[in-house]
Amino acid sequence: MKKTQILGAMLAFSLAGTLTACSGSNGSGSGTSEAADKNVRVWFMEGSISEDAQKYLKEEFEKQNPGAKLTVEIQPWPGIVAKLQTSLASKTESPDLVETGNTQSATFTTVGAFADVTNLKEKLGGKDLIPSFVDATTVNGKIYGYPLYAGARGVYYRKDLFQKAGIEVPQTIGDFKNAVIKLQEANPEGVEGFSGMYLAAVDGHGVESVLFADGFDYAKLENGKWKSLVTSPESMEALNMLKDLFEKGTKFGLDSQAGQKSFERNFNDGKTGVLVGTGNIGVKIDKKLWDEGKVGVFALPSKTPGVAGATFAGGSNISMAKNAQNPELAAKALEVIFSKGFQELIAKDGWVPGNLKYADSVSGPFGEISQQIVANTKLTPNTPQWGVAADDGAVNDFFTRIAKGEDLQKTANDFSQMLEKELNSGN
């Protein structure tokens, strides 16, 4: 679905939501707990929640609510904005609970797609819930979603390959670029097609993390209007670094979406020595590599030695649909999601759980640096227009043009002009 179609449909959905709100639903959903055979449908995104956690949620919910059922439906990320727009607007097809990426949450929160769940805050964790994520789903003092997990991004690297190539753990982002390029040139084990790091244009948040650490920014809000920062001196310096990495530090710049979904396999197979990934990637890295002491982790550095750089604050929120079929039971499911058992399973999978009370349960060495990384994370522009623009592929197209080696200044100018226009399209 094209951007203009999505925005137009959202406007229609917003008007429909206003009419629904005026009908006396009291913000708790338009269905009843007797509807749909008491089956609570939960949409989680692909790669977010492990099968163990899904199983726990289903079993615990059904144990606590005899006669009710819970069904988890996994959704792919590509095209999710358009799919959500269609599904959430339907009074018969809408899921009950929906995961949205934190860059997409504002898109639906602001058009009335989600139910007001302010009254659940204390029951779900209160002040222990990730504050910035709660803020992102708060409109006019009412809360329309809660933090499911945060995906802090750090660096996984092959310690043995660094040692063989004579490379120290980088202390600045410039050192990081040089280390990756040097590692690719050295190819310590003589692997055919060896890549210094995995860096793909389609892995937008991975690319953003490297850029943010070097001072890149998309835009800032000035006097009620968004001003692009893509071509600022600081951003252009970061984009030049990215260009160097695509040219000399990776062989995966033009990898496919399908390839990116399991990018850790290249690390496990010895085809690359560096990954930028979230905490859950650690559990996907070959256990043998961990056991042999060949894997290390560190925070992406900034321009200042010893200081962690800003990385993309990935993660998701969980919301109750305005058109939920079973709102009362959906609220009960939220209670299970934010319970100790489920939150600790999220942490076990490497995510920083939405309730920071359980953040010390994040598994593995990555858990030791996750708090440091989270403290320095950064978000993309917090506006509904960003969620639509990102889903329309504009950001990936921008990175892909750089990966292809197109003229950097022209590419940046084109994207900057488009971005400023689109971010202000709702004004």
* pLDDT of res. 246: 98
Backbone angles phi, psi at 12, to 5 degrees: -65, -40
Judged against a pLDDT cut of 50, whether residue 376 lies above it is answered with yes
- What is d(CA 27, CA 139) in angstroms, rounded to the nearest whole number? 13
pLDDT tier at 389 (50, 70, 90 boundaries)?
A: low
Q: Which of 318, 340, 341 is nearest to 330 (CA)?
A: 318
* pLDDT of res. 33: 39
Q: State mean pLDDT over 280-284.
A: 86
Judged against a pLDDT cut of 90, whether residue 196 lies above it is answered with yes
* pLDDT of res. 323: 96
Element (H, E) at 180: helix 173-186
CA distances from 277 to 133, 266, 311, 317 (A): 20, 13, 10, 19
* pLDDT of res. 11: 41
Judged against a pLDDT cut of 90, whether residue 70 lies above it is answered with yes
Q: Which of 74, 52, 60 is nearest to 348 (CA)?
A: 52
Judged against a pLDDT cut of 60, whether residue 273 lies above it is answered with yes
Judged against a pLDDT cut of 60, whether residue 378 lies above it is answered with yes
pLDDT tier at 359 (50, 70, 90 boundaries)?
A: confident
Judged against a pLDDT cut of 50, whether residue 381 lies above it is answered with yes
* pLDDT of res. 391: 62
| CA 60, chain centre distance (Å) | 27
Q: Which of 127, 186, 169, 144 is nearest to 29 (CA)?
A: 144
Q: Which residues contact 45 (CB under 8 A, 6 or more apart)?
A: 74, 75, 76, 77, 80, 99, 101, 316
- DSSP for 26-83 reads TTS-SS-TTGGGGEEEEEEETTTS-HHHHHHHHHHHHHHSTT-EEEEEEE-STTHHHH
The overall pTM is greater than 0.75: no
pLDDT tier at 108 (50, 70, 90 boundaries)?
A: confident
pLDDT digits (tens, 9 = 90+) for 2-60: 444 444 445 445 434 433 333 333 444 444 434 447 999 999 999 899 999 999 999 99
* pLDDT of res. 103: 74
Is the CA virtual torsion 277, 283, 284, 287 positive or negative? Answer: positive
Structure tokens at 101: 């990426």
* pLDDT of res. 337: 98
pLDDT tier at 392 (50, 70, 90 boundaries)?
A: low
Burial of 193 (0-12, 13-18, 19+ CB in 10 A): exposed
pLDDT tier at 375 (50, 70, 90 boundaries)?
A: low
Give the three-state DSSP class for 365: coil
Which residues does residue 71 pair with via DSSP β-bridges, in sequence order? 41
- DSSP for 342-366 reads HHHHHHHTT-EESBGGGGGG--TTH
| CA 199, chain centre distance (Å) | 16
Q: Which residues contact 401 (CB under 8 A, 6 or more apart)?
A: 411
* pLDDT of res. 30: 44
pLDDT digits (tens, 9 = 90+) for 308-320: 998 887 789 999 9
pLDDT digits (tens, 9 = 90+) for 395-414: 999 999 999 999 999 999 99
pLDDT digits (tens, 9 = 90+) for 335-352: 999 999 999 999 888 888
**To the nearest whole number, what is the mean pLDDT of the chain?**
88
- What is d(CA 4, CA 366) in angstroms, rounded to the nearest whole number? 41
Between 320 and 283, where is the model more confident? Answer: 320
